[in-house]
Amino acid sequence: MPGSPAVPVFNALLLGLSGCLVDFGARTLPVARAHCLDERELLPALLASAAEYAERLPGVDALLNQLQRQQLPCAWLDELPAAVSTRLARALPSWLPAAQVGAARPWPAPDSIWQALAGLRVDNLHGCVLIASEPRLLQAGLNAGLWCIGLATCGSLCGLALGDWQALPGPERDKLRVAATLQLYRLGAHSVIDHPGEIPACLQDLAMRRHKGEKP
């Protein structure tokens, strides 16, 4: 029996930046929300946080290697100031671009999703996937008509650094995981997984669902 491909063929893949590719726990954005500072003071604080949190999440290296081999059009998105996102993205390979997004309504409006796909020269929405941990970004993807995969444990819903997450007792991790998973499913995510290392298998599952006629 022939084996199935490592990563199914989709038209395009969009990924959240913080809490998906880098910055386990998506801890940079809360820094912005917690500081009641003027813009000149806020940006240095955010840049310092980005420099500290710009580590790739477990499983990201293997995922990106597969996507590059498959030559699947993909890009990352975030809502942080451009300088901060760029600092976070330094941990990523140069071939993975930031989404091309111009003037757009903030998430959960779908504008930035459509602009990102246009920048990747995608002809239609069929077979396009968004993967993120941020609920507002996932809602934007759903509003845009994409397949959406939520990440439960590595985003803002749990909000912990990798070491802190791993140090939690098992029952506490399970409680946080279940709560985040349920919230993302209630939002409408088509699938919810823990972390990027599970993305290839999840894409296989979505491919099977598409083959059976399911649509986002």
Kindly state whether residue 4 falls inside one of the protein's structural domains. no
CATH code at position 130: 3.40.50.1000
In this prediction, residue 36 has a pLDDT band, given cuts at 50, 70 and 90, of very low
Q: For position 103, what pLDDT does the model report?
A: 87
Kindly state whether residue 5 falls inside one of the protein's structural domains. no
- Res 4 pLDDT > 60: no
Q: For position 41, what pLDDT does the model report?
A: 58
Over residues 90-116, the mean pLDDT reads: 95
Per-residue HEC secondary structure of the chain comes to: CCCCCCCCCCCEEEEECECCCECCCCCHHHHHHHCCCCHHHHHHHHHHHHHHHCCECCCHHHHHHHHHHHCCCEEEECCCCHHHHHHHHCCCCCCCCECCCCCCCCCCCCHHHHHHHHHCCCCCCCCEEEEECCHHHHHHHHHHCCEEEEECCCCCCCCCCHHHHHHCCHHHHHHHHHHHHHHHHHHCCCEEECCHHHHHHHHHHHHHHHHCCCCC
- Res 38 pLDDT > 80: no
How much of the chain, in percent, has pLDDT values that exceed 70?
Answer: 87
Kindly state whether residue 114 falls inside one of the protein's structural domains. yes
- Cβ neighbors of 33 (< 8 A, separation 6 or more) are none
- Number of folded domains in the chain? 1
Over residues 88-93, the mean pLDDT reads: 92
Q: For position 34, what pLDDT does the model report?
A: 54
Domain hosting 90: range is 12-211
Q: What is the pLDDT of residues 9-31, one digit of tens each?
A: 799 999 999 999 999 999 887 76
Over residues 103-129, the mean pLDDT reads: 95
Kindly state whether residue 3 falls inside one of the protein's structural domains. no
Kindly state whether residue 72 falls inside one of the protein's structural domains. yes
Over residues 200-209, the mean pLDDT reads: 93
Q: What is the pLDDT of residues 125-158, one digit of tens each?
A: 989 999 999 999 999 999 999 999 999 999 999 9
Cα 137 from Cα 65, distance rounded (Å): 24
Kindly state whether residue 69 falls inside one of the protein's structural domains. yes
Q: For position 83, what pLDDT does the model report?
A: 81
Cα 60 from Cα 197, distance rounded (Å): 7
Kindly state whether residue 216 falls inside one of the protein's structural domains. no
Over residues 107-121, the mean pLDDT reads: 97
Kindly state whether residue 6 falls inside one of the protein's structural domains. no
Over residues 170-196, the mean pLDDT reads: 98
In this prediction, residue 33 has a pLDDT band, given cuts at 50, 70 and 90, of low
- Res 6 pLDDT > 70: no
